[in-house]
Structure 1
């Protein structure tokens, strides 16, 4: 089975990527291809969520096994193939790439064919626009307001 996924961002309406993957590819393969394509730091936490038609989270597929959300079944990216969870055209997923700010890409299966790709999968089929930046934890800290070095108890007005 060959899948064609459309990946979009709510942050940049001009951005999209089309990713072609085989049914036997793992979610880790999908993650690695996307991280490399976007120039993101692959050491950052990430998760896929299989969702319902309204983007409600149903199943989490994590990079690192962590505490799962209540009511959400959880699997590890390196242990699960796409064909184990992707079976219907227009099926949706979220790809949470920034855990600290809860930023995600919206992914939808737009085509599926019962054949084998002549290329090694997964790969990016089409691209448009710039991806939103991936904020690392140290960048978040750099953007936080500086705390004053003064002690409020030393204020002569107190």
Structure 2
């Protein structure tokens, strides 16, 4: 089967920038990564990761290009096929390219179709918009930061060493 994806640059401008890509369901996420980078004009030399996403575009499990994790069970793109993470019930991924620039793309499975005879895959079906010279800046709302700070509000005073439960002469 062939997966048809729309890959959208997540930016805060009015201009939509996206690519429609066809790829075999049993191709790896590394194959998909290479196709995305080529279709947007990147050289593909930077670190990248896919993240499983829900319907609200919340970032879930990471599948990275290289093993940079301390976790023994970290998933890698070259070991993960598209149909392992995307299917009719799970249609969204977030793709981040170049962790310094943070090019962020919303990836959605649009359709699953039969393979067309005589078509080479992966196949760039449609191009809309030109990628800017620099990655769009991520803007965080004050409410987002308040939620983040509330999540880690543990009432510790970082300057109050007396109340911490450890032996400062452990060495």
Shorter-normalised TM range: 0.7 to 0.9
Deviation readout 1:48-86 (Å, 9 max, x if unpaired): 1111111122221111111279xxx74111111111111
Report deviation, 1:89.
Answer: 6.0
Query: Is residue 24–residue 83 contact of structure 1 (8 Å, CA) maintained in 2?
Result: yes
Q: Which residue of 2 aligns with 1:31?
A: 33
The CA distance in 1 between the partners of 2:16 and 2:49, in whole Å, is 23
Alignment-derived partner of residue 6 in structure 1 = 6
Q: Which runs of 5+ in 2 are unaligned?
A: 136-171
Distance, in Å, in 1 between the alignment partners of 2:132 and 2:50 is 18
Offset of residue 32 of structure 1 = 0.8
Q: Across the two proteins, how many residue pairs are aligned to each other?
A: 131
> Could you list the runs of 5+ residues in structure 1 that have no partner in the other structure?
136-158
With the length of structure 2 as denominator, give the TM-score of the two structures: 0.68
Contact 1:7 1:18 in 2 (8 A): yes
> Per-residue deviation at 1:98?
2.5
Instruction: Assess if the C-alpha contact under 8 Å between 1:25 and 1:121 holds in 2.
Output: no
CA contact (8 A) 1:49 1:59 kept: yes
The residue that corresponds to 1:50 in the other structure is: 52
User: Moved runs in structure 1, 4+ residues, more than 4 A?
Assistant: none
Structure 2 residue aligned with 1:122: 122
Whether the 8 Å CA contact 1:98–1:134 is kept in 2: the answer is no
**Aligned equivalents of 1:134, 1:41: Cα separation in 2:** 14
Deviations 1:92-116 (Å, cap 9, x if unpaired)? 1111012124331111111112x22
